[in-house]
Amino acid sequence: MTKGIKNMTMDDMAKELKVSKKTLYKYVKNRPELVSKSMKWRLDFDTKVLTAILERNLGAVEELWELSSYHIGHLKMMHPSLHHDLAKYYREAWLMFSDFTKTGYLYQTTINNIKKGISQGLYRNDFDAEVIAKLYLSKIDMVFDSSVFPATNYNFGEVCREMVKYHVNGMATEKGRAEIAKFWSNNKSEPGFSKANQQIIENLLSI
C-alpha cells in the first residue's frame, strides 16, 4: 500500500511477498481478491492494536493521541493515490476500509473516547458524540486532499497535530484544557507510531 496499487501486477505482488506467482495463485484467483484479503488482514491487525491501546487504560486525552497517532501513522505510509484507486478499482476492499473508519471499530473507539473524556470531566457533555466522532474521522481524510493541503506548502505531520489539538480542545472543559496544555507541553512529536504503539505492533507480529 506504500507504492500504490493501480499499476501493480501479480508479478509485482509475488515479488513483494517473496513467493512465486504460481504459489500466489493457490491462495487467490486474481488481483482484486488479493487486495481484499490484504485489506481484511490489515483491518483485523489494526483492531488488535487499537484494542491493546485501549487496554493501557490511559486518560482520555493521551488515549485520543495514541489512537489517532496509530491511524495517522499508517495513513502517512500509504501512497497518495491509494484512496482513489481503492474506491475506483477495488470496491470490496474500499468498502471494508470505509466501514472500518465511518461506522466500524475505529468509529466506535472514537465515540468511546469521547464518553470516557466526559466521564473523567475532561470533555463537555453538551454535544452529540456520534456527530463529533464522524466529523473528526472525516477531517483525517481531508488532510490527504492535496488541493486543501498541498505538500509544497504544508508539513503533513504538523497538519495532523493541529487537527488533533483542534478536535480535543473543541470538546474540552476547563479541567480538560489544563490537562491538554500539560500533555501538549510534554509532547512535541507529530502523530505517528509512538514507542508504546511500536512495541504493541512488534508484540503482535511476533505471535
Q: Hunting for cell 506467482 — which residue is that?
A: 21
Quote the pLDDT of residue 44.
95
Quote the pLDDT of residue 178.
95
Quote the pLDDT of residue 144.
74
Query: Is 19 part of a structural domain of the chain?
Result: no
Query: Is 115 part of a structural domain of the chain?
Result: yes
Distance CA 161, CA 147 (A): 19
Query: Is 138 part of a structural domain of the chain?
Result: yes
Query: Is 149 part of a structural domain of the chain?
Result: yes
- Domain limits for position 42: 30-206
Query: Is 14 part of a structural domain of the chain?
Result: no
Whether 36 and 15 have beta carbons less than 8 Å apart is answered as no
Distance CA 29, CA 49 (A): 30
Query: Is 7 part of a structural domain of the chain?
Result: no
Here the CATH number for the domain that contains residue 123 is: 1.10.357
Query: Is 155 part of a structural domain of the chain?
Result: yes
How far from each other are the two terminal CA atoms of the chain, in whole angstroms? 23
Quote the pLDDT of residue 185.
87
Quote the pLDDT of residue 3.
58
Total number of domains in the chain? 1
Q: pTM (2 decimals)?
A: 0.83
Query: Is 21 part of a structural domain of the chain?
Result: no
Q: What one-character DSSP code corresponds to residue 123?
A: B
Bridge partner list, 89 = none
Residue stretches of the chain with pLDDT short of 50: none
Distance CA 173, CA 118 (A): 9
